[in-house]
Structure 1
Amino acid sequence: MNDLSTQSISASLPVQGKACVLMFVKAPYPGKVKTRLGKTIGNERAAELYTYFAQDVLVTLCQLPVIPLIFFAPDDARLQIAEWLKGQQYYPQQGKALGDRMSHAFNRCFELGYEQALIVGSDSPDLPLNYLQTALEQLAAGQVVLGPSEDGGYYALGFTAENYCPQVFQGIEWSTEKVRSQTLRILEHHARPIYELPTWYDIDTLNELQRFYQQNQQGQQSQSMAYLSRHQHDIFERCRT
């Protein structure tokens, strides 16, 4: 296992083969997405933010030399998803548990003929592009790639068709701080080569949203930041009173 610091990310390895990035999204129904954040800022506001989070993640993915595939839920929301995240390829998530849905998505990608697949969520709108570039480079080098998140889960997971390990989706305590450690234990048990990316954070709470807003004041403004700039008083000031 190789821990990677932010400063040590390089672009020395070429991206080879036929690769794709799987982006998992939910239809942005109030009360169905960003529910922890919704308890603080309201479900309507949280759902609106989620639409921009996902759009910003997709903008980043479209800068990679791979094909993004949108895996959506629920499975009757295709038209809404296609209107929201335009111009992509769309596949319904299948399975009840998160692990079942991710396992099916990887299987689907490999059935389509892709040699490398990287799955990412839609909770980190400022996820650095170079993290994902490094992930693809390490996939091309035959590594299993895992991007750990600060809450104990992961923001990215990647396999090649040859090193795919579906066991990582079984027996995991999803939505807990144990997800990363349990996943690594399974990968090590099955003797998979592991490359860990730098740790990043999801936005699930008001404090994390405030952190995102403060860290992204400079530079090109994303859709998420534009929304927060328009509504910062209602979101940050009123929610603290």
Structure 2
Amino acid sequence: MNAQREAAGPDTLLVIAKEPVPGRVKTRLTPPYTPLEAAALAEAALTDTLNTMLQVPARRRVLVLDGAPGPWLPPGFEVVPQASGGLDERIAAAFALCDGPSLLVGMDTPQLTPRLLTDVGSDGHDAWFGPAADGGFWALGFADPGRDGVLVRGVPMSTDRTGAIQRRRLTEAGLTIGELPLLRDVDTAADAASAAACCAPGSRFAATLASLAESVR
């Protein structure tokens, strides 16, 4: 049974994302980047993330999207609209779509690799947590999302205490937690440079950032 689970990985991989429309995404990158350039970086980060998720064994892959899919969406994903409400409610609603071990990631960590997710779904933990350098989290998962996905509701989002509060929720619920590595979200130009330096060869995000370098000199 354990060998079967290891081969299968999580039952469901969720990517929660926003359509990369200029002026609606990565607004903290402007300046130094223009809204169009910030959207190009957001699209590149999302593309890298989706392609990474295609390399992680899973029964089901779901893009939980605010907006409409575009040519950046590869085959292999279901697309569902984000629920209404705050980000905590939208994440909880995404987990409600799942049955079996499930992991949710955002579109802000293009340096993510399949290797970082090797044990998710197969290591016997009740939950998985990936902290972000800004105090938030870049990944959250549950072995029983129908039961435990509600633990994200009420967690204040986009603060430097978001990750600590979410992790405490998991601990107080008595869940065993699989720890994922600390990653840096791409919010600012400095974040973008740091993430690009850690991206795998062939990363669209790193290539896009390099192509924009002249525009910010």
Give the TM-score taking structure 1 as reference length. 0.80
Q: Distance in 2 between matches of 1:18 and 1:174?
A: 25
1:123-145 Cα distance to aligned partner (Å, 9 max, x none): 0111132111222333xx14310
Is 1:130 matched with 2:119?
Answer: no
Partner SS state of residue 135, structure 1: coil
Q: Which SS does the other structure have where 2:94 is aligned?
A: helix
Q: Is the 8 A contact 1:173 1:179 kept in 2?
A: yes
- Answering whether residue 21 of structure 2 is matched by residue 29 of structure 1, we say yes
Residue aligned with 1:136, SS: coil
Contact residue 22 and residue 39 of structure 2 kept, 8 A = yes
When residues 153 and 15 of structure 1 are mapped into structure 2, their CA distance, relative to the original with a 3 A threshold, is: farther
**Does residue 1:170 correspond to 2:153, yes or no?**
yes
Q: Residue 84 of structure 1: SS of its match in structure 2?
A: coil
Q: 1:190 to 1:213 in 2, by over 3 A?
A: closer
Q: Which of 68, 71, 78 is equivalent to 2:64? A: 71
- Match for residue 210 of structure 2? 229
C-alpha distance in 1 between matches for 2:167 and 2:207: 37
**Structure 2 partner of 1:3:** none
Runs of 4+ off more than 3 Å? 15-18, 213-216
Please give the alpha-carbon distance, in whole angstroms, between the structure 2 residues aligned to 1:17 and 1:150.
Answer: 26
SS of the residue corresponding to residue 6 of structure 2 reads: coil
Within 5 A, what are the aligned runs for 1:12-161? 14-16=6-8, 19-66=11-58, 67-74=60-67, 77=68, 81-87=69-75, 88-110=77-99, 115-138=100-123, 141-161=124-144
CA contact (8 A) 1:146 1:157 kept: yes
Q: Quick one: structure 1 residues 82 and 48, their matched pair in 2 at CA, closer, same or farther if it must change by over 3 Å? A: closer
- SS of 2:167's equivalent? helix
Q: Is residue 179 of structure 1 aligned with residue 162 of structure 2?
A: yes
2:127 partner letter: V
TM-score for both structures, normalised by structure 2 = 0.89
> Does the Cα contact within 8 Å between 1:153 and 1:177 map onto a contact in 2?
yes
Cα distance, 1:15 vs structure 2: 4.5
In 2, the alpha carbon distance for the partners of 1:106 and 1:177 equals 23
Residues 16, 104 of structure 2: 8 Å contact kept: yes
Q: Amino acid of the residue matched to residue 191 of structure 2?
A: E
For the 8 Å contact 1:144–1:163, the answer to whether it is kept is no
- Structure 1 residue runs of 5 or longer lacking an equivalent are 1-10
Residue 52 of structure 2 aligns to a residue in which SS?
Answer: helix
Q: Residue 129 of structure 2 aligns to a residue in which SS?
A: strand
Number of residue pairs aligned between Structure 1 and Structure 2: 212
> What is the root-mean-square deviation in Å for CA atoms of aligned residues?
2.1
| Superposed CA offset, 1:97-119 (max 9, x none) | 00111111110123xxxx11100
Offset of residue 121 of structure 1: 0.4
Gaps of 5+ in 2: none
Indicate conservation of the 8 Å contact 1:31/1:38, yes or no: no
